[in-house]
Amino acid sequence: EGLEIDNYKTTLPLKKGLSSSAAICVLTARAFNKLYDLHLTTRGEMEYAYAGEILTPSRCGRLDQACAFGTTPVLMTYDGEFTSVEKIPITRKLYLVIVDLCAQKDTVKIL
């Protein structure tokens, strides 16, 4: 038994600095978690997603996997060794503005 992911409904723009590669890695970790009943927490899925992504040329950041929480806002702190995650209670509407600057992000060049 294996796993095939057909990611045909992606609406997250690629190469724009919005953690699209982390989102794919979290999707993959979550799919394995569900398919094989691994009992991973969201944090566990994040760890596997990060471990997988650092094997690619993507050069993801340590905080990119926050997308694993979906629409729940979280505060992530990285001390150089460990990442802590804390859900942020939102008592009012939260508005995000995402602007396309019509440019690409090159993580490898930035780092």
Low-confidence stretches of the chain (pLDDT < 70) are 105-111
pLDDT of residue 8: 82
pLDDT of residue 88: 93
pLDDT of residue 111: 42
pLDDT of residue 3: 87
How much is the pTM?
0.79
Supply 90's token pair: 């939102």
pLDDT of residue 85: 92
Asked if residue 96 lies in contact with residue 59, where contact means CB atoms within 8 angstroms, the answer is no
pLDDT of residue 109: 59
Q: What is the DSSP string of the chain?
A: -------TT--SPTTSSS-HHHHHHHHHHHHHHHHTT----HHHHHHHHHHHHTTSTT---SSGGGGGGTTS-EEEEE-SS-EEEEEPP--S---------S----HHHH-
